[in-house]
Amino acid sequence: MTIEFHDLTYGPQDLARLTAFYHDHYEKEFPDPDERESLENMVEYLRLREEGWYGPNSYHIVLAVRDGSPVGCSVSDYLSEPNVGVIEFLMVLPDARRGGTGRALLTETERLLDKDARAGKGIPLGHVIAEVNDPRAPSDVADNLDPVARVLIWGRWGYRGLDFPYVQPALSEGQEPVTNLLLIVKSFPQADVVESDTVRAAVHEYLRWAMRIDDPGSSPEYQDMATYLREVAHVPTLSLSAYVGLDSPLRVYDVAGPHDPQLPAVLACYRKAFDGSELAVDEPEFDRALTEVTGYHLWGLLYEDGDVVEGMASLFTLETAGLCGYVTLDGQLRGQFRALVARVECQFLRDSPTARGWYVELGMETEPGPFRAVGFAELAVDYRIPRVDAPVRLLYKPFGRQYGPVRLPASEVQRTLARIATVVYGEPAHSVTTSLDGLDFATFC
């Protein structure tokens, strides 16, 4: 059946449609109450549009209907000053996915926004922006859809990530700012950068007209974003598939257990890279971790569709952080470290959405440059791996993008290192000693 699109009005029939859709579907698709718009506000915005309050701007709630039943909905705004459309949300009901409904709804939404631009400014629409859950950022609320799958869908639709520190201010006094969002953009024509003044104006007007913050300049979140944007001429855009490490020939094989047929090949990679290292562990330790440790992953790394394991990674997911115990990339996989980092972070957050970052332990002879290049910083602590009487570099990286100095509570570092001792090495928590006692925050060098 053909999909029908209804640009809802303030009329009683459309309000009834909106109310039913909101209670039957919208609330379920937005499990985070800090991201959820109220039904009362949506009704009020339709009333204000009818009365002309939006002026040169506009507001749309588009309901997609097939065979008399709703299959999706979008809410969007047109912002005249920056000539930007904003998609507040676009959702397709689970039973209607994978059939082109989402793309059709997006096309209709973009058509309406472009119509607004041509009617109000006499020019085509410049950009459309939207918020998505960042698949490489911690979240206190589980998403209703794998964030990696979601950004890949938007990427196929032509959207890219905006590389700046976006934070959604609180939508009301009873809500909190949302820090795990990625602002994405489609430009007409497509571009690798967007002028920072355009981004700043779009965020300002979005807060003013869609979030009803009368004075965005009074918002601490907006102040921080505006300060950052004033210091750069352009905001780079990110390939969303690259951001999650899936534009790469790197292929991950997650070893299922001690009897997995690929385990010998993975251990052969381990021996080639770490035999003779004072940081090496006996190979039965991998069997123990695969059998006994929740949140452990032993990855074999392959190149595209090849069947030769050319690298490996050993990962532990803990409550507040992840640990990468060993990693090596050989052969054709050299140069794929950045993609591996993205894949690792997405895995850690699938396992523990509230974890904040991850650690690596490097021998003093290992060059830390590749790790620093992807965002790791070295903790200025005297750290020794349990059972190994040798100093080790301890590096830490917050998940995702980082735009300023890392600040990590010293007590959190101590708790995590104690968990590493017990979970990873099977040693008492007190076997780890550091120079963090009495400090509020860990320091980095």
Closest by Cα among 247, 260, 319 to 286:
260
pLDDT surpasses 80 at 376: yes
Confidence band for 375, pLDDT divided at 50, 70 and 90: very high
Tokens of 238: 């990110």
pLDDT of 439 higher than 80:
no
Tens-digit pLDDT profile for residues 98-109: 889 999 999 999
Angle at alpha carbon of residue 418, lines to 414 and 423, rounded to 5°: 145
Q: Nearest-CA neighbor of 23 among 64, 73, 60, 90?
A: 73
> What sign for the dihedral angle of Cα 340, 352, 257, 273?
positive
pLDDT mean over 298-327? 96
- 13-44 burial string, b = 16+ CB within 10 Å, else e? ebbebbeebbeebbeeebebebbbbebeebbe
pLDDT given at position 83: 98
Which pair of structure tokens corresponds to residue 72?
């999706």
DSSP summary character for residue 24: I
The pLDDT assigned to 435 comes to 67
Mean pLDDT across 397-423: 91
Rounded to whole angstroms, how far apart are CA atoms 290 and 267?
Answer: 13
Q: Which range among 154-168, 330-344, 430-444 shows the weakest confidence by mean pLDDT?
A: 430-444
Tens of pLDDT, residue by residue over 335-370, are 999 999 999 999 999 999 999 999 999 988 899 999
The residue type found at 185 is V
The predicted-structure confidence for 80-92, as pLDDT tens digits, reads as follows 999 999 999 999 9
| φ, ψ of residue 34 in degrees (nearest 5) | -75, -15
Catalogue all structural domains in the chain, each as residue range(s) with its CATH number. Answer: 3-243 (3.40.630.30), 250-442 (3.40.630.30)
Residue 438 has pLDDT above 70, yes or no: no
